[in-house]
Structure 1
Amino acid sequence: MSVTAHPTSISPCLWFDDQLEEAAAFYVSVFPNSSLGHLSRYSDAGPGEPGTVMAGDFVLDGITFRGINGGPQFRFTEAVSFEIACRDQAEVDRYWDVLLADGGEESMCGWLKDRFGLSWQVVPTRLYELVSDPDPVRAGAAVQAMLGMRRLVVADLEAAVDAATGAPA
């Protein structure tokens, strides 16, 4: 007997109280290569108010997300976050500022929560290079510097690494 393989598709599904439509529009405005997909609305059959959004799809930088308005029973936690690998400080600053706007909260080590409570890691790719340095003193200095930061600042990370090894700043 021959079995035909079917490709599996895995995508994140985000549970919102009732802000899916607002959140999806916001996220699509933040990330390149993004778009809103179909939004399903409640009918008279319920359980939500007719015409309000029940579920929907959106694409963020080429990744498809599904969202539902499931009510207040569940909230986002830092146990799940989305990492944004940024090529430079300008990109870190842009994402950091826009995701914090209108009620977001800073955390440590490049983490933040946006106004919807979703956790993001805004990380310059230079951090990966510094913490992976084959010299354990340099790598350790990068980690220690990162642990003391909220928004990650490439120049400060590099200065900490240079100071640890006596390199000129």
Structure 2
Amino acid sequence: MLPIKPHLWFDNQAKEAAEFYTTLMPDSAISFGSQLHNTPSGDCDIVEFTIAGQPFMAISAGPLFKFNPSISFMINFDPSRNPEAARRIDEIWSKLADGGTVMMPLDRYPFSERYGWVADKYGVSWQLILTNPAGEPRPVIIPSMMFTGAVAGKAEEAIDFYCSVFKESKRGTTAPRPEDMGPDKAGTLLFADFYINQTWLAAMDSAHNHGFGFNEAVSLLIECETQEEIDYYWLALSADPKAGQCGWLKDKYGVSWQISSTFMSEVLKSGSPQQIDRVTQAFLPMKKFDIAALQKAYQG
């Protein structure tokens, strides 16, 4: 399996945002851009890019969904691997905070000498942290899920669930609350991370009244090589296998996933405009992707 790609839903700024993000750190670049025509959202720009080696997808598909901190992206600054980490964290913080909203100021905290949480000018949420690594190294960027509202306190359960679904999985760091902390109960997760499909993810619980939860603005994209894989992940992850649309589903915790095909990526990267349009019109009525039907549409 390929690494999981966070997928970002913008109103109309996907290309602009990708250009901005790829200026932040080394090992960042736009891989390709394409456009889907005649969708329910009109013509939609699609762009694939990497930030510090982490792959992302983004789409401009209208103002249906808004970013919130339920899924953020941790940026790890490791002094043992980069002597300039302390300077770099301040530099990148300044760029992300420009025009954005600071939720936790960049400062010293009990868990880190330098940490901050900010939503950038597009609303995408980032946690920047100066790490003191021990054990297995982590990637620069890790998608992080906050379990709040109706699913507060279920982060541990969710990690176990995800690790049971994905064949290549393992637990990493686990830091439960040692005692009750306001509305957060002892044993719920301050922080934990886990590894599935060549991808590190993080999770935490928060029982505070945040007023937000998981939505489609940030989804997790799984690219499958076979119909068998698509069928497996659709059935394993979907809270309602009869729901979903265009390969999108929601799991029992409300997290949005896209179960896609490597064939779709190939079409978007190398197909002619006519082939892309035919495949687009083929997948729009689908719930779970049918690779054979997509290939037939591609061939005309």
Q: Is residue 63 from structure 1 mapped to residue 199 from structure 2 by the alignment?
A: yes
**Correspondences of 1:78-89 after superposition (within 5 Å):** 78-89=216-227
Cα distance change on mapping 1:149 and 1:42 into 2, 3 Å: same
Q: Does 1:135 align with 2:272?
A: yes
After TM superposition, the structure 1 stretch with the greater mean CA deviation from structure 2, 147-156 or 133-142, is: 133-142
- Is 1:51 matched up with 2:182? no
Going from structure 1 to structure 2, the CA distance change for 1:49 and 1:138 (only over 3 Å counts) comes to closer
**Corresponding residue number in structure 1 for 2:288:** 151
Q: How many residues align?
A: 160
Note the C-alpha offset of 1:124.
1.0
TM-score scaled by structure 1? 0.82
* Change beyond 3 A, Cα 1:36–1:105: farther
Q: 1:43 to 1:135 in 2, by over 3 A?
A: closer
Q: Do the aligned partners of 2:155 and 2:188 also contact (CA within 8 Å) in 1?
A: no
Please provide the CA RMSD for this pair.
2.4
Structure 2: gaps spanning 5 or more residues: 1-81, 89-138
Alpha carbons of 1:114 and 1:140: their partners in 2 closer, same or farther (altered >3 Å)? same
- Contact kept, 8 Å, 1:133 with 1:139, in 2: the verdict is no
- When residues 105 and 68 of structure 1 are mapped into structure 2, their CA distance, relative to the original with a 3 A threshold, is farther
For 2:222 and 2:283, the matched residues in 1 are separated by: 16
Structure 1's 37 and 158: CA in aligned 2 closer, same or farther, altered over 3 A? same
**2:83 equivalent in structure 1:** 4
Post-superposition shift, 1:131? Answer: 4.1
Task: Give the deviation of 1:30 after TM superposition.
Answer: 1.4
Find 1:113's aligned residue among 250, 253, 264: 250
Larger Rg: 1
Secondary structure of 2:186's aligned partner: coil
- Tell me the TM-score normalized by structure 2: 0.49
Kept in 1: contact 2:250–2:256 (CA 8 A): yes
**AA paired with 1:12?**
P
Structure with bigger strand share is: 2
Does the residue aligned with 1:139 lie in a helix, a strand or coil? helix
Instruction: Report the more deviating stretch, 119-128 or 66-75.
Output: 66-75
% identical equivalent positions: 32
The answer to whether the 8 Å contact 2:245/2:288 transfers is: yes
Answer yes or no: is the 8 Å Cα contact 2:234–2:241 preserved in 1: no
Question: Residues 156 and 116 from structure 1, CA distance in 2 versus in 1: closer, same or farther, beyond 3 angstroms?
Answer: same
